[in-house]
Amino acid sequence: MPKTGLYDNLINKALDLEISKAEQKNLKVIIAPLDEGDSYLYFARYLSGVLAQVLSSLPEKDRVEKQLEIANDIIQVVPKKAPRTLHALDAQVIRKDLLLGILERDLERPDSPLSTHCLITGSRHEPSFVSQLVKEIASADKVDILCSFVKWSGVRVLQEQLEALASAGRLLRLTPEKDCLTVLDFVGHAHKSFRYDRQFRALMRPGCGPIYEEVARGFAHLPSGCVIHMEPVAKAYILENIRQAIHSTRLQLVQRIREFEGESELSLTLDNFTSYHHLELDQIYKHASWERLLVLADKRDDFSDPDEERLTKGMRRMASISAPKCIAAWMHLTEMGNDDGTIGQLTEEESRFLTMLHYIMWGKQWPERTLADSLTRLRKNEVIFEEMEKLLALRRDITDQLPIATDIPPNCTLELHAGYSRDEILCAFGLSTVSHAMPFREGVLYVPELDSDIFFVTLNKTERDYSPTTMYEDYAISEDLFHWQSQSTTSELSNTGQRYINHRSKGGSIFLFVREQKRRNGVTEPYIFLGPMEYVSHEGSRPMSITWRLKHPLPARLLPTIRQLAVS
């Protein structure tokens, strides 16, 4: 009689006899019909067991030849029962050999391939599970499921192999037969050195902003089709881990710089350092200039630039620039001579670019009254000037923004979907110069000489920064429709209201600049230039709720965030 317990076996003659004995003992026997959806798995498993028993019992002499003969006899029978599933001649085993690989490069074969269903216990005398996964990933065509118990010794050791798999063009997420990669992470208490921010940063689209805010807000910038869901306790644990990892003190940053070359075996550059440690440039410049940090880490000689403190703040602003045309212009203009004669030969567009650079580096309150004076003073800070040039080159290399032509006034130096401060925007339209910063603090600016209205929209308004009368309802309806609310005093019959409604027939233009919030990490957040838009419809008066149509659809990197803020 079989032992009591739960079973999952097909019933053969021997087992049927045991069942009869159990029933005679008044034991409860549970039998269920096979499900047609997975019955093949039960038969395949049963036959596999029977065949393994038969093939392993053959005498040692000529064992492989006899096993091959039995296998081929079975293969000859199968097509007669299911002719559409198997071609007997193709399926026949013709050699007593195993194919172990067809390679373009040398690969180390796993000691225990996953196809053999081996149990790896992790004992000292067996290969480690991680070592076998590393070898499997190197030769994989695709990865369907990742199930990880997140510990310091877990995900970290496979990261390099998974990145190599994806970069080689093999499928980590999608295949024609499978619409997603399932990743199950069981989050435990990780080693304090484990960096969740690095793992999540690798998933984000470029330019998504601080990773802490991305996790806290529910991953607004994931690639299309991807979703990450965290239960509250795990989310709180991971956010605390990220907070501790990215909020380094200046002393901790200096220590990392001091140890970098020995730890990474890379040359000590700003690009290498931030890439290796997965740091944003702002995490460097909020503490000091890169060259000053090198001095503190005993990696270069001390220097004494007269305006280091002020220009370091300027480079912090520059670290977020995302306009390729602007970067290229600045790199060109800083290489040219800076006497009044040379500056006087600049085109209007070049002068505006250089004025934008002046406001980025110096800010508003500055005694120099000409572009030549501004550039001369900048060059007197030799170390910082050289670092600024390297920072511009770095921003050029990592910015993935592609220039898109749009309808803007002549000589305007703006690029669609790039980010700018309010001062830069006023310079780009020719409204501010080195000697005169246009005073402006409102959310709407009408420029009569250009017959243009410029809208400055902050989507995520807080009561601390905005009064109740300026908490306007501004949000994206779709990728090309935007809901905007006028100032509370604007009626549909006023000159301003009529200008909005009839701007196309009168040849006027409306330009939209949007940012998520007023400040990020203690720094004023730049506005994204969404380009010109046209009136569609409106409701109400004082204020007017107007629907505008963007001439250029919102970029994919901005749409999830802007729509998420609208929902919230």
189-207 confidence digits (pLDDT tens) = 666 667 777 777 766 665 5
Distances, alpha carbon 223 to alpha carbons 395, 554, 559, in Å: 22, 15, 12
Report the pLDDT value the prediction gives residue 469, as an integer from 0 to 100: 47
Find out whether 531 and 405 touch, Cβ atoms under 8 Å: no
Contact call for residues 217 and 564 (beta carbons, < 8 A): yes
% of the chain exceeding 70 in pLDDT:
75
Rounded-to-integer distance, Cα 408 and Cα 224, Å: 31
Q: What is the dihedral angle through the alpha carbons of 252, 258, 260, 262, rounded to the nearest 10 degrees?
A: -130
pLDDT category at 117 given cuts 50, 70, 90 is low
Q: What is the pLDDT of residue 518?
A: 84
Q: What is the pLDDT of residue 289?
A: 95
Choice among 34-43, 52-61, 420-429, 459-468 with the minimum mean pLDDT: 459-468
Residue 464 pLDDT? 52
Q: Is the pLDDT of residue 404 over 80?
A: no
Averaged pLDDT for residues 315-335: 89
Tokens (6 digits) for 141 = 């065509």
Q: What is the mean pLDDT of residues 22-34?
A: 85
* pLDDT tens by residue, 415-427: 998 889 999 999 9
Confidence of residue 473 (pLDDT cuts 50, 70, 90): confident
CA 27-29-33 angle, to 5 degrees, is 175
Cβ of 429: how many Cβ atoms within 10 Å?
23
Residues 6+ apart with CB under 8 A from 370: 340, 343, 434, 435
Average pLDDT over residues 452-479: 72
Whether the full predicted model's pTM is greater than 0.75, yes or no, is no
Q: How big is the CA angle at 334 (ends 328 and 336), to the nearest 5 degrees?
A: 110
Q: Which residues, at least 6 apart from 397, have a Cβ–Cβ distance to it below 8 Å?
A: 271
- Average pLDDT (384-413) is 86
154 versus 47: the higher-pLDDT residue is 47
Closest C-alpha among 475, 482, 445 to residue 458: 475
Question: Would you state the pLDDT for residue 297?
Answer: 94
Three-state SS string across 357-410, please? Answer: HHHHHHCCCCCCCCHHHHHHHHHHCHHHHHHHHHHHHHHHHHCCCCCCCCCCCC
137 token code pair: 């990933």
333-374 residue pLDDT tens:
888 765 555 677 889 999 999 999 999 999 877 766 788 888
pLDDT at 293: 95
pLDDT score of 188 more than 90: no
**Confidence tier at 530 by pLDDT (50, 70, 90):** very high
**Per-residue pLDDT at 153:** 45
Rg (CA), the chain: 33
Where is average pLDDT lowest: 134-148, 230-244, 442-456, 539-553? 134-148
Q: Tens digits of per-residue pLDDT, 508-517?
A: 999 999 988 8
Helix (H) or strand (E) holding 529: strand 527-539
> What are the residues whose beta carbons fall under 8 Å from the beta carbon of 170, sequence distance 6 or more?
140, 141, 142
Q: Is the pLDDT of residue 11 over 70?
A: yes
User: Per-residue pLDDT for 60 more than 90?
Assistant: no
β-partners of residue 548 are 482, 535
